[in-house]
Amino acid sequence: MKMTFRWYGEGFDNITLKQIRQIPGCSGLMGVLDQYAAGEVWPLEAIQEYVKHVNEAGLEVEVIESVNVHEDIKMGLPSRDQYIDNYIQTIRNLAQCGIKVIVYNFMPVFDWLRTDLAREIPEDGSNSLYYDDEDLRGMTPMKIVEETTKNSNGFTLPGWEPDRLKELERVLNIYKDIDEDKLRENYKYFLEKIIPVCEEVGIRMAVHPDDPAWPVFGLPRVAHSQEDFDKIVQMVDSPANSLCLCTGSLGSSPDNNIPQIIRHFGQMNRIACAHVRNVKYLGFKKFREAPHLSSEGDLDLYEIMLAFYETSFDGYIRPDHGRMIWDEVGRPGYGLYDRALGLTYINGLWEAIVKSHRK
Ligand code: DNO
């Protein structure tokens, strides 16, 4: 298992590589090149420069997140082939720079979505990401986009790139004719084209679950349960067609048994990387993000790490969204302090599990 940390890149993150290098037990990053819109080819030279810069700070970068899939691919429009060719070129360029895993998602229009990016936790005065489905029902898609953009402390959140948002209304209209089966068909088409290339160049694709783990605004969503992922891994039967097991996204629904899902896909060797965090349920389709510690939320992080251990997980892992604590101002969900605490806690659980299993 390799412990990593998400970083958005110089100019796109308030956290420095030096700070990340000083977190004990962190070998490198899950990186992203935030400047490229979905559908664009990520140029080889830019990736080379990025990797070199990270390596010079004493960190590895073998996982890249948010290589976003163009909406035309998800909608199955005739223009998709050009965008798939571009995606393939990006895969080749990333592989040439030593990248082993690409994290992406197949959520229509929206990436992860919250109704409040800084909900105060009354008990301790910190704040965290918060979601209430009832609040969302009172909002239009345009409204949630505006609110999210306004409250992101000047950063662009993944999936909320201004270029994509201009298209919002047109795209929402097209989705009216796309149900889950159609979306799956388009997904399969995409995987059938890209997975052979991944196999050739040694990349594993890791699909990130829908977050939250249910459809929003009536849009189809096909990646938020064990059954959904069973269908996805069968679309193209290859270890290059894998999951990014995000405990908090799947765990937003109490219907998902996370240790069981880890065991199921771990035994099949279909988990390429993991995002590990906790959630606190506040009601039906209503939750906030909690500190990583098991006792602070509704997921049992010990059982989660044990499931990874018992299925010989050998991929990349990182703490996920944290609260904003100690008056930090940064990207919502992506401050330094609470995520560093989470990382250290996960490493502690892992050491205890490994040592207690020694014969
Ligand atoms: C959320 C992240 C996601 C993830 C993308 C992958 O916090 O985990 O933005 O990287 O969904 O495309």
The pLDDT assigned to 312 comes to 97
CATH number assigned to the domain comprising residue 311: 3.20.20.150
Please tell me the distance between residue 157's alpha carbon and the centre of ligand 1 in angstroms.
10
Q: Residues 21-51: pLDDT tens digits? A: 999 999 999 999 988 989 999 999 999 999 9
pTM: 0.97
Q: 327's torsion region: left (phi>0), alpha (psi -120 to 50) or beta?
A: left
Annotated active-site residue in 116, 228, 320, 338: 320
Confirm if 294 and 302 have CB atoms less than 8 A apart: yes
Instruction: Return the exposure string of 265-297: e unless at least 16 CB atoms fall within 10 Å of the residue's CB, then b.
Output: bbebebbbbbbbbbbbbeeebbbbbbbbebeeb
Known catalytic membership, residue 246:
yes
Stretch 284-289: mean pLDDT: 98
**Residue having the nearest C-alpha atom to atom 1 of ligand 1:** 112
Sequential DSSP letters for 297-359: SSS-HHHHHHHHHHTT--SEEEE----B-TT--SSTT--SHHHHHHHHHHHHHHHHHHHHT--
Domain that holds residue 31: 2-356
Q: What domain count does the chain have? A: 1
Which residue bears the tokens 């402390």?
153
Q: Residues 237-278: pLDDT tens digits? A: 999 999 999 999 999 999 999 999 999 999 999 999 999 999
Is residue 354 pLDDT above 70, yes or no? yes
pLDDT tier for residue 159 given thresholds of 50, 70 and 90? low
In the chain, what percentage of residues exceed pLDDT 90? 89
Please tell me the distance between residue 40's alpha carbon and the centre of ligand 1 in angstroms.
18
The set of protein residues with a Cβ atom below 6 angstroms from ligand 1 is: 65-66, 103-105, 111-112, 158, 208, 275, 321
**Residue having the nearest C-alpha atom to atom 4 of ligand 1:** 66
Is residue 161 pLDDT above 70, yes or no? no
pLDDT tier for residue 158 given thresholds of 50, 70 and 90? low
Q: What does the block give as tokens for 38?
A: 């979905």
Please tell me the distance between residue 66's alpha carbon and the centre of ligand 1 in angstroms.
6
Nearest to 178 by CA among 32, 77, 251: 77
The pLDDT assigned to 164 comes to 65
The pLDDT assigned to 160 comes to 63
Stretch 136-157: mean pLDDT: 85
Which residue bears the tokens 């986009």?
145
Q: Which atom of ligand 1 is nearest to the CA of 30?
A: 10
